[in-house]
């Protein structure tokens, strides 16, 4: 019987991306093993076509949270947990570190349930559900931290240059992006993604507009602005303020965004899922981080390629709640970002 592993990383886009190299290393170490992955249904597209994952178990824990009294939700919860209990996993690895993900690991009935030690858990109480708690000491970036779980089972970290990110890619999506680029006449372009989970993670629209105007005399390519449908208002505000013929809104699906970013000369963004997708495909990056909590610092979650540039306005705020205050990132000027863009573009051609 081949060994069977269950990975739990429910969300979000960036966190799932950061778990891919460790999951791939585990599968490569045990080539005959079967690896399943539990993920939020809304993020399952990130695992489509992954050659190292046999089965993707889709749950909707975010939807359940708001409707726990619903008979339909109770039935969905029971069905999802029953699916996990039917399997005979040799080990379950919880990369999420939340109480709900730890409970899911318990339902797997695996004889080995691995998770991080208390200091590295978002919710320390999750640790009571693990049989083996791993301390990723002396590791800074979250990808390195994730590797500590699979190394505990015998996998090896090949180093950042060889980290593998098996992201979804399809011929129709590649063809669509090539067609759209041809329509725009975009032989060279950069991508800006101004959104973020909340406003304190976003650079101000007026500063994006100032940057676009400042780039016009020296960057001859197009500037594509991307974002979710919910961020269209923000994008159109930036385009209106910039009033530039070279800047355009580029709507896309997640897989199309990945295809677009693969071709970009530069990706500019705050701390968002698309930023981590750009890092995974090795597109040159300038990242803008605001004040944030200790578990979400640039050194822990930011780009991992040494040539990439991350700008930050300082250390953590006094509490997690304060990071959701209704203000944009302060202290990172348009001139700061323009200088970083020039430098990163120059490095890309060395």
**pLDDT above 50: residue 318:** no
H helix intervals, the chain: 13-29, 61-66, 71-86, 99-107, 142-151, 171-184, 205-215, 232-242, 254-263, 273-280, 298-301, 334-348
Up-side HSE of residue 347: CA atoms within 13 Å toward CB? 16
Q: What is the pLDDT of residue 246?
A: 95
**pLDDT above 80: residue 70:** no
Stated length of the chain? 350
pLDDT per position as a tens digit, 101-158? 999 999 888 999 999 998 889 899 999 999 999 999 889 999 999 999 999 999 999 9
**pLDDT above 80: residue 253:** yes
Question: Quick one: which H or E segment has residue 189?
Answer: strand 189-193
Residue written as tokens 């889709």? 58
pLDDT per position as a tens digit, 180-202? 999 999 999 999 999 987 788 89
pTM summary value: 0.92
Provide the 3-class DSSP secondary structure of residue 263: helix
Q: What is the pLDDT of residue 199?
A: 83
């Amino acid at each position: 019987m081949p060994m069977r592993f269950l990975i739990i990383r429910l969300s979000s886009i960036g966190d799932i991306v950061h778990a891919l190299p460790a999951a791939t290393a585990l599968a490569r170490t045990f080539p005959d093993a079967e690896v399943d992955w539990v993920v939020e249904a809304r993020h399952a597209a990130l695992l489509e076509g992954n050659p190292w994952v046999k089965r993707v178990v889709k749950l909707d824990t975010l939807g359940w949270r708001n409707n726990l009294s619903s008979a339909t939700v109770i039935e969905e919860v029971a069905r999802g947990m029953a699916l996990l209990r039917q399997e005979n996993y040799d080990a379950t690895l919880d990369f999420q570190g939340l109480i709900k993900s730890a409970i899911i690991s318990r339902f797997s009935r695996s004889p080995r349930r691995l998770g991080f030690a208390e200091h590295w858990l978002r919710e320390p109480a999750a640790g009571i559900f693990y049989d083996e708690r791993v301390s990723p000491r002396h590791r800074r970036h979250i990808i390195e931290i994730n590797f500590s779980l699979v190394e505990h089972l015998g996998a090896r970290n090949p180093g950042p240059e060889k980290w593998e990110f098996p992201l979804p890619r399809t011929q129709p999506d590649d063809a669509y992006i090539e067609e759209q680029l041809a329509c725009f006449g975009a032989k060279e372009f950069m991508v800006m993604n101004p959104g973020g989970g909340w406003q304190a993670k976003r650079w101000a629209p007026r500063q994006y507009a100032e940057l676009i105007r400042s780039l016009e005399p020296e960057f001859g390519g197009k500037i594509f602005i991307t974002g979710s449908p919910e961020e269209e208002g923000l994008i159109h505000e930036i385009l209106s303020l910039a009033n530039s013929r070279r800047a355009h809104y580029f709507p896309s699906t997640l897989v199309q965004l990945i295809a677009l970013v693969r071709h970009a000369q530069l990706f500019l963004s705050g701390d968002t899922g698309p930023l981590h997708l750009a890092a995974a495909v090795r597109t040159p990056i300038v990242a803008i981080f605001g004040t944030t909590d200790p578990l979400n610092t640039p050194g822990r979650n930011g780009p991992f390629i040494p040539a990439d540039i991350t700008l930050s306005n300082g250390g953590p705020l006094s509490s997690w709640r304060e990071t959701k205050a209704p203000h944009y990132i302060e202290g990172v000027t348009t001139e700061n970002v323009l200088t970083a863009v020039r430098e990163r573009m120059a490095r890309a051609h060395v």
